[in-house]
Amino acid sequence: MRRWLLLLTLLFTTNLLAVDATLKIEKDVEQRARIALVDGSEQHDEKFFGILLADLKISGHFLADSNVHQGSFSGAFIDPKLKGQDYVLKYKLLMGDGTKLFIQLLRASDGMMLYKKSYSIPSAAKMPFVAHKAISDINAYLKYPDISWINRYVVYTRYTGKQKSEIVLADYTFNYQKPIIRGGLNVFPKWADAQQRALYYTSYKGVLPTLYKINIYTGQKSTILSSEGMLVCSDVSKDYSKLLLTMAPNGQADIYELDLATGAKKRVTKFDGIDVNGKYVDDDKSIVFISNRLGYANVFRKAIDSAAVSPVVYHGRNNNACDTYDDKVVYSSRESSNSFGRNQFNLYLTSSHGGDTRPLTTTGTNQFPRFSPDGSVVLYIKHSGGGSAIGYINLDSSQSLLFPISINKIQSIDW
């Protein structure tokens, strides 16, 4: 097991240290709506204001005024200095045992109220989700392309000691974090449904690595299967009926497809080397995966029912992580020469069928790329200059945001 964990560590792990705040906006698109926030709360909450601001910016649909404006929540009064905005979002936040939020969207030119809503959640810790829901609702009211991905959980594994880890839920900014699975070595969480009610994960607690499915609300857990060597669920089919697994029952890691209804396993790759991290593409008829069949880690593609294998990436000597959405592929490529120790990794966007490749990052160590459910945004972990952050790149607007994190070591992440 130690051999496989070392392999998986090389392929998937990055060290995350204490960080300084960073926030970067790469590109402005002037078609965006200008909007200012007016805080009508009794006490201004800087963290909440920052989350609202980040939600507006990463949506790609708003040009948000970053200045703090405070004023009355009620009434149609608009400060004359805000008349140049398209919209003014007034809000009142009440924090105590829970979180309550009241919002009003006003037309800046004449103070006409366009939209209002209130939110209540019996948890102060979940305050970030209230902010995300309010901004996604306003975005929907204005009929902009959907940004409901900001309401989703991010799930990740962090090491807590020797042979110990815990699986944690977070909001996309990591301002909310809650461990949900503790005890032993529990790794590779993967969402099992669109509603994020259940997830798959691998436990190394017993004699054999075992894949479980757990309902995060009820705690109900079922065993999917166990296997010698290693066992990782790397992807779930669009209809949630099949899983792509990395297994090594015969000593070498290969990609298998598991039919959940019948329990039948199909070996998808057959290589006397390392094939891992299978991801569905092309309407689940093909997979993209990482293999060392050229002597170094690279991204390859094959149809599930065909033996032919072809490379997807033609540059770099260590392309060791990838994710897919339809025919889009995002991958991490090492761009420094050290075989061990700190290296620079950048993210690239390409197609499973070849064609143009677009760099998404240019500095630091960028790993764990994951597409949003609609494929419009890429999540990743960035380590640069002694700090670490969770990053997001809006592929349509080219805007990016970095949220600082101070987690010792992330093992894997899903969104």
Is residue 195 within 8 Å of residue 204, measured between CB atoms?
no
Is residue 383 within 8 Å of residue 15, measured between CB atoms?
yes
What angle do helix axes 46-59 and 127-141 make, rounded to 10 degrees? 40
In this prediction the pTM is 0.87
Residues sharing a CB contact under 8 Å with residue 335, sequence separation 6 or more, in sequence order: 316, 343, 344, 345, 346
pLDDT at residue 343, rounded to an integer: 76
Amino acid sitting at position 229: G
Closest CA to 132 of 194, 73, 54: 54
Reduced to 3 states (helix: H, G, I; strand: E, B; else coil), residue 131 is helix
- How many whole angstroms separate alpha carbon 281 and alpha carbon 244? 12
pLDDT at residue 247, rounded to an integer: 95
Q: Each residue's pLDDT tens digit in the chain (415 positions)?
A: 444 444 443 333 333 332 333 344 444 446 799 999 999 999 999 999 999 999 999 999 999 999 999 999 998 899 999 999 999 999 999 998 899 999 999 999 999 999 999 999 999 999 999 999 999 999 999 999 999 999 999 999 999 888 899 999 999 999 999 999 998 999 999 999 999 999 999 999 888 999 999 999 999 999 999 998 899 999 999 999 999 999 998 888 999 999 999 999 999 999 989 999 999 999 999 999 999 999 999 999 999 999 999 999 988 878 989 999 999 999 999 887 665 566 789 999 999 987 789 999 998 899 999 999 999 999 999 988 777 899 999 998 888 999 988 876 888 999 9
